[in-house]
Amino acid sequence: MMVASKGTLRSELGAAVAGGGSPLAVADRLCLACVALMDVDGAAVSLIDGGSTRGTFGSSGELSRRLDEFQFTFGEGPCLDAVAGRHPVLVDDLRGTGGRRWPVFAGKALEAGICAVFALPIAVASISVGALDLFRADAGPLTADGLGGALWAAELAALPLFDLMTAPDLDAQRYTESMDGWDQLASLQRVEVYQATGMLIGHLNVDGAEALVRLRAYAFAHGQTASEVARAIVERRIVLTTDEEWQRPGGRNEEAT
């Protein structure tokens, strides 16, 4: 696929964020525009805080959303490094340095058919709050125009994020659960993960960090994402009964790691 010209990239990406709608809809449109205009197969916008992804703010499709979820589950990946270092992280072949840098994430991405990843930090008021991740099935670097478009898209991605963060209905003193902005923010927070972590804290008498480690370990061992495991815990389809075992109610026990 050819990369659009510099002028087309700027105008079409700009149009994607100027079309109105909710911040999440705008972010999705921007990701879809990245796929249509650049030589990439997927795109996602990650919201990041405290060195961990807080949710997928926008995506071009389910695969991109799942790749972002892998970075949360395993605590490693290009979007986290891009935000931590405040500079683009460009890996044109995960079978090389990417595999050494993020062994678990790279392995899962390669299994999903993704060979190249490009992550660009998103800043709001000079603070890195997220990253634009671009994914491609074929190995190889972005062209000069493609990189320029990616940098421009990352700048534009700050606009819907800023709109969501500054929405008046996110004021904790005034929100109601029916308000659109609050619902959108809550949807990013991986609510099931925090609910499941709280349940594990109570069951195991451990702190939150240890509970999250155990949840992620189970996800890793069973080829699932943290959100999938958390949902099973919240729905009581999986219960951690001892330090060593997870139990499926009515079924056999499984090793936790």
Q: What's the confidence (pLDDT) of residue 216?
A: 77
Which domain covers residue 218, as residue numbers? 191-255
Residue 246 confidence (pLDDT): 52
> At a CB cut-off of 8 Å and minimum separation 6, what does 212 contact?
193, 197
> How confident is the model at residue 106, as a pLDDT?
94
Determine, yes or no, domain membership for 179. Answer: no
79 plus 203 within the same structural domain: no
Same domain, 55 and 135: yes
Using only C-alpha atoms, the chain has a radius of gyration, in whole angstroms, of 19
Report if residue 182 sits inside a domain.
no
- Phi, psi (degrees; rounded to nearest 5) at 99: -65, -30
Inside any domain, residue 180 = no
d(CA 42, CA 67): 10
Q: What is the 3-state secondary structure (H, E, C) of 101-138?
A: HCHHHHHHHHHCCCCEEEEEEEEECCEEEEEEEEEECC
248 and 206 in one domain? yes
89 three-class SS: strand
Residue 114 falls in which region: left (phi positive, over 0), alpha (psi -120 to 50) or beta: beta
Instruction: Provide the phi-psi class of 255: left if phi over 0, else alpha when psi is between -120 and 50, else beta.
Output: beta
What pLDDT sits at residue 252?
A: 46
Kindly report the CATH number assigned to the domain that includes residue 88: 3.30.450.40
Q: Using CB atoms within 10 A of its CB, is residue 176 exposed (0-12), middle (13-18) or buried (19+)?
A: exposed
Secondary structure tally for the chain: helices H, strands E: 11, 8
Query: What is the residue-level pLDDT of the chain in tens, covering all 257 positions?
Result: 678 888 889 899 999 999 888 888 899 999 999 999 999 999 999 888 766 666 788 899 999 988 988 888 888 999 999 999 999 999 999 998 777 899 999 999 999 999 999 999 998 877 888 899 999 999 999 999 999 999 999 999 988 877 766 654 444 333 333 344 444 444 555 667 777 778 888 787 878 777 877 887 888 778 777 778 888 888 888 876 655 455 555 444 444 33
User: Quick check: is 220 in a domain?
Assistant: yes
Residues 125 and 67 reside in one and the same domain: yes
**What digits encode the pLDDT tens for the residues 151-183?**
999 999 988 877 766 654 444 333 333 344 444
Q: Do both 164 and 211 map to the same domain?
A: no
The pLDDT score that the predictor gives to residue 165 is: 61
Are both 22 and 149 inside the same structural domain? yes
Beta-carbon contacts of residue 149 (< 8 Å; ≥ 6 apart): 3, 4, 6, 9, 10, 13, 34, 37, 38
Which of these, 227, 39, 214, 203, lies nearest to 135 by C-alpha position?
Answer: 39
CATH of residue 234's domain is 1.10.10
| Residue 55 belongs to some domain of the structure | yes
Residue 22 and residue 132 in one domain:
yes
Report the domain count for the chain. Answer: 2
